[in-house]
Amino acid sequence: MDIALPLQVMMENTAGWRNDLENMHRVVEEGLHKHGGILFRGFDILGESEFQAFAKTFGFPLLREHKLQPVRASLHVFWSSKTLQGSRYQKAALKGEWDLYGQIQETTIEGDHESIVRDRCVASHILNLMEGEKV
């Protein structure tokens, strides 16, 4: 089976893209998953703001289809009972060295790239780890 990628569509409505928008949306709905991309030709877009208006007509359905992949983020909480000295430690101890300088607790938070950063439970996890509780 020979499928050209992306699908190239020549628009026949010379009255402008706004008058052919319903047809363009139909082409995208029917062909995007099959071809992986659609290249519209032969319709006039006059400038950046008009292109942005055109793109916004497709934006929300495409955003609903995108899903962030799940990730696991290690959360390390460290408090030092000794002072790290020397230029090598201006940023932090090296991986695997933290426990030489004080107590360390670790837990893993699951979610996607956005939810982990915005998770209100992160502060609670940090507090529990600092208090030495198992999260």
Q: Could you write out the three-class secondary structure of 103-116?
A: EEEEEEEEEEHHHH
| Predicted local confidence at residue 135, as pLDDT | 44
Q: Rounded CA gap, 103 and 14, in Å?
A: 71
CB 129 within 8 A of CB 107: yes
Report the candidate in 76, 97, 77 with the shortest Cα–Cα distance to residue 86. 97
**Number of residues that make up the chain:** 135
- What are the boundaries of each domain within the chain? 7-65, 70-130
Q: Rounded CA gap, 135 and 129, in Å?
A: 7
pLDDT, tens only, 69-124: 677 766 655 555 566 666 565 566 666 676 676 666 666 667 766 666 666 666 67
pLDDT, tens only, 25-60: 888 888 888 888 888 887 777 788 888 888 888 776
